[in-house]
């Protein structure tokens, strides 16, 4: 975009900006790295903004347009009709999924959905449609959902507390890490984890973060047997390790005994449905203190930002409904 120094979206990045509202807004935007002009068009000046995905290994990305109206107050009747016809439910739902790119660990590949996918979502299918962004092929990444909710709520708080800017056709960019990262999760001062070896196509996946942020670790494929028991919970501060897997399916869970009343789940109970059974076991473990999942939610696209003296009700409405949908997915 060609920035105008009088545009609110440019003023927020000004070095001499002293407006408390704009300075608070900066926290929710990509970082600013000055301006840039292409050699072929030196009179065109563009903002250089942070690549929000740069720190992620396998970034999962979703672009969600926020607000009840995707056209600004000065749009022509033709423009209004055009925008409304693209997604008639925008007024009622308050947001639109413009696209997503989700990393699937089992195939080491991405699933992508474009704007036509988002516009196909109805009130009845919206929850399922959004949840697709948080499913990695094995399980629902509830840790990423919870962290996303926290980020969105902070943006909502900013909008509820300011009356000087209204946003139209602006988006939230969601990013979370799709690849597995070795880590430990504490729960009541105990480390809860299992050593996990996936199906053969799980490339370089040392740990899968699944429901409630419990981690499933890979183990050497020395055989195809399933661990005899999932009844024993790890002792505190047990070191976890991961090694490269082989192509065969193998699952092994090693634990130290704790007096916790867990019942034994034997090999025959797991055969035929290893992944889903294991997921159910970890899902029902106590959440306790969880790690902070690395998630980014940033406001992007500021071509239609206008000065105002009222709360941006359309944007607030969309954020609240989006949070409600995310919470519904999390509580499922």
Q: What residues does 99 pair with on adjacent strands? A: 63
**Most trustworthy range by pLDDT among 31-45, 195-209, 216-230:** 31-45
pLDDT for residue 327:
98
pLDDT for residue 114:
96
Q: Residue 163 has which token pair?
A: 């009356």
Range of lowest pLDDT (9-13, 143-147, 160-164, 181-185): 181-185
What is the DSSP track for 3-45? --TTSHHHHTT-TT---HHHHHHHTTSPPEEEEE--TT-TT--
Report if residue 327 sits inside a domain.
yes
% of residues, the chain, pLDDT over 90 = 58
Kindly report the average pLDDT of the chain as a whole number.
75
Question: Do residue 170 and residue 85 come from a single domain?
Answer: yes
Report if residue 42 sits inside a domain.
yes
Edge-to-edge strand list for the sheet holding 170-177: 109-113, 95-104, 59-66, 170-177, 295-300
Alpha carbon separation from 50 to 29, 260, 301, 310 (Å, rounded): 9, 48, 13, 30
288 versus 156: which is more confidently predicted? 156
Taking the alpha carbons at both ends of the chain, their separation in whole angstroms is 41
pLDDT for residue 275:
46
Report if residue 120 sits inside a domain.
yes
Question: Do residue 70 and residue 162 come from a single domain?
Answer: yes
Report if residue 253 sits inside a domain.
no
pLDDT for residue 172:
98
Task: Report whether pLDDT(272) > 50.
Answer: no
Question: Do residue 66 and residue 16 come from a single domain?
Answer: no
Range of the domain at 151: 52-182+293-331
For residues 24-34, average pLDDT: 95
Tell me whether residue 239 is exposed, middle or buried, using C-beta atoms within 10 angstroms of its C-beta: 0 to 12, 13 to 18, 19 or more: exposed
Report if residue 244 sits inside a domain.
no
For residues 226-250, average pLDDT: 34
CA distance 176 to 181: 12
Task: Report whether pLDDT(223) > 80.
Answer: no
Report if residue 263 sits inside a domain.
no
Q: How many domains does the chain have?
A: 2
58 versus 283: which is more confidently predicted? 58
Q: Residue 158 has which token pair?
A: 């900013």
pLDDT for residue 264:
37
**Most trustworthy range by pLDDT among 147-151, 178-182, 281-285:** 147-151
Question: Do residue 111 and residue 169 come from a single domain?
Answer: yes
Question: Do residue 172 and residue 24 come from a single domain?
Answer: no
Give residue 302's pLDDT band: very low, low, confident or very high (50, 70, 90). Answer: confident
Report if residue 250 sits inside a domain.
no
- Could you read off the pLDDT of 60-88 as tens digits, one per residue? 999 999 999 999 999 999 999 999 999 99
Task: Report whether pLDDT(189) > 70.
Answer: no
Put residue 147 in one of left, alpha, beta given phi > 0 → left and psi -120 to 50 → alpha: alpha
Structural contact between residues 298 and 29, judged by C-beta atoms closer than 8 angstroms = yes
Question: Do residue 151 and residue 23 come from a single domain?
Answer: no
Question: Do residue 173 and residue 297 come from a single domain?
Answer: yes
124 versus 263: which is more confidently predicted? 124
For residues 166-191, average pLDDT: 71
Question: Do residue 82 and residue 19 come from a single domain?
Answer: no
pLDDT for residue 85:
97
Q: Which of 98, 100, 93 is nearest to 123 (CA)?
A: 93
Structural contact between residues 307 and 165, judged by C-beta atoms closer than 8 angstroms = yes
Query: What pTM did the predictor assign?
Result: 0.68
For residues 201-207, average pLDDT: 37
């Amino acid at each position: 975009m060609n920035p105008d120094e009088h545009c609110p979206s440019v003023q927020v990045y000004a070095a001499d900006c002293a407006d408390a509202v704009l300075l608070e807004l900066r926290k929710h935007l990509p970082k600013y790295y000055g301006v840039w002009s292409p050699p072929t068009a030196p009179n065109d000046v563009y903002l250089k903004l942070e690549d929000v995905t740069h720190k992620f290994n396998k970034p999962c990305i979703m672009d969600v347009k926020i607000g009840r109206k995707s056209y600004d107050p000065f749009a022509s009747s033709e423009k209004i009709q055009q925008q409304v016809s693209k997604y008639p439910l925008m007024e009622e739902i308050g947001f639109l999924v413009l696209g997503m790119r989700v990393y699937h660990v089992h195939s080491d590949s991405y699933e992508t959905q474009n704007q036509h996918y988002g516009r196909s979502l109805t009130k009845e299918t919206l929850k399922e449609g959004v949840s697709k962004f948080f499913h990695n092929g094995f399980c629902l990444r509830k840790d990423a959902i919870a962290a996303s909710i926290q980020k969105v709520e902070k943006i909502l708080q900013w909008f509820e507390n300011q009356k000087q800017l209204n946003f139209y056709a602006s988006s939230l960019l969601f990013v979370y890490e799709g690849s597995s990262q070795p880590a430990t999760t504490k729960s009541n001062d105990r480390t809860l984890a299992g050593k996990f070896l996936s199906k053969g196509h799980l490339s370089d996946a040392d740990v899968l973060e699944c429901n409630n942020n419990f981690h499933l670790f890979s183990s050497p494929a020395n055989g195809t047997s399933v661990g005899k028991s999932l009844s024993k919970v790890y002792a505190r501060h047990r070191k976890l390790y991961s090694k490269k897997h082989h192509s065969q399916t193998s699952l092994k869970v090693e634990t130290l005994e704790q007096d916790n009343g867990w019942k034994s789940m034997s090999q025959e109970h797991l055969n035929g449905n290893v992944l889903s059974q294991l997921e159910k076991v970890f899902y029902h473990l106590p959440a306790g203190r969880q790690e902070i999942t690395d998630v980014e939610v940033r406001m992007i696209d500021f071509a239609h930002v206008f000065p105002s003296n009222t709360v941006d009700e359309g944007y607030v409405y969309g954020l609240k409904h989006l949070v409600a949908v995310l919470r519904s997915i999390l509580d499922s």
